[in-house]
Amino acid sequence: MASSTKTVLIPIAHGTEPLEAVAMITVLRRGGADVTVASVEDKVGVDACHGIKMVADTLLSDITDSIFDLIVLPGGLPGGETLKNCKPLEKMVKKQDTDGRLNAAICCAPALALGTWGLLEGKTATGYPVFMEKLAATCATASESRVEIDGRIVTSRGPGTTIEFSITLIEQLFGKDKADEISKILLVRPNPGEEFSFTEINQTNWSFEDTPQILVPIAEDSEEIEAIALVDILRRAKANVVIAAVGNSLEVVGSRKCKLVADVLLDEVAEKSFDLIVLPGGLKGAPRLASCEKLVNMLKKQAETNKPYGGICASPVYVFEAHGLLKGKKATTHPSVSNKLSDQSHVEHRVVVDGNVITSRAPGTAMEFSLAIVEKFYGRQKSVQLAKATLV
């Protein structure tokens, strides 16, 4: 297909799986799609799963007559049920199918929405494992593929398959060359589905009392997949994760214009102690974090007291390297800035742990990064369990 602008609708609801929604929004926007995020609720703000708040671009009720090249449904409960029961959305998706345009769904949405609406009859489709029986009752063949394409319908399995799913949708809209280009930028995992691993040097025990207290600061232009993967995975592990906004507003617009809502302002927690402070990246977002004096002071205190801190993408360079927080440490970072690390011996590694410092590379490594943190706090069994549950 020609590489012209394509329009995409992503509906969200209370209880939508945020990592799926955010990954789809941001990856498709990277690919050049004009993505509209629409709330099926009566307000643009939604309470997604795992205590994560998102803000849509518009209400679905305001755009029901609009035409899109692709409508793609995230999963999550009860969000998937809400999408299924939304009659205006059902009408739009059915018209999409009748007119021969693309529909896509992930996790519970293939079974709950597309299947219930009768769009999977005679089709091969996939979905989240616990919904396979329900899926099989609505389609010709229930597949365990990570991504399944049948005609003008694309389906996928869960949070850990969302980037692959989104890259497939880019290929459907813009062609293979564009999909390969975005896949390379994101550092998509070369062996999806295989057991994850990370590089560890100077092994150190990461301790905590009762529950790990983790701070995830975010700023304007922070990379959204990296931020939400950390919060999503670590809250699944039952860590107490605080999202803190650097600046004066709880609502933060990320690098791909995805609107997120922090729990607190950083100023409110600047004097508190955390077992881990971990930063998302973003080529513009990381410098914003680096310029926050209070955050830098918190990180320096973390280092002085031998408590863990970490960063992904551009943060190891712009925050840690720039403020002397990588002295004597091996680290990795995004390929576009890796030449700025004073020690480049480990820049090709996807996740590096050196004592109390953990670093990683890009959106495509964010789930491995998050799972490595889970492993450091809870052990290998817990991290593997979560990797399987999220289909990493």
Length of the chain counted residue by residue: 392
DSSP 8-state secondary structure symbol assigned to residue 249 = -
Picking from 77, 81, 97, 72, the residue whose alpha carbon sits closest to that of residue 9 is: 72
Report d(CA 255, CA 248) in Å as an integer: 18
DSSP 8-state secondary structure symbol assigned to residue 42 = S
Tokens representing 147? 């991504």
Provide the 3-class DSSP secondary structure of residue 276.
strand
**Catalytic annotation on 86?**
no
Picking from 55, 90, 130, 374, the residue whose alpha carbon sits closest to that of residue 237 is: 374
Strand bridging mode 276-279 / 213-218: parallel
Helices (H), the chain: 18-30, 79-84, 87-98, 109, 132-136, 162-174, 176-186, 224-236, 266-269, 285-290, 293-304, 315, 366-378, 380-389
Is residue 360 a contact partner of residue 223, using CB atoms and an 8 Å limit?
no
Of the residues 107, 108, 139, 292, only one is catalytic, namely 107
Report d(CA 227, CA 345) in Å as an integer: 26
If one counts every other C-beta atom within 10 angstroms of the C-beta of residue 184, the result is 12
Query: Going edge to edge, which strands form the sheet with 357-360?
Result: 199-201, 351-354, 357-360, 309-312, 276-279, 213-218, 240-245, 264-265
Inter-CA distances, 185 with 317, 332, 358, Å: 18, 15, 21
Write out the catalytic residue numbers: 107
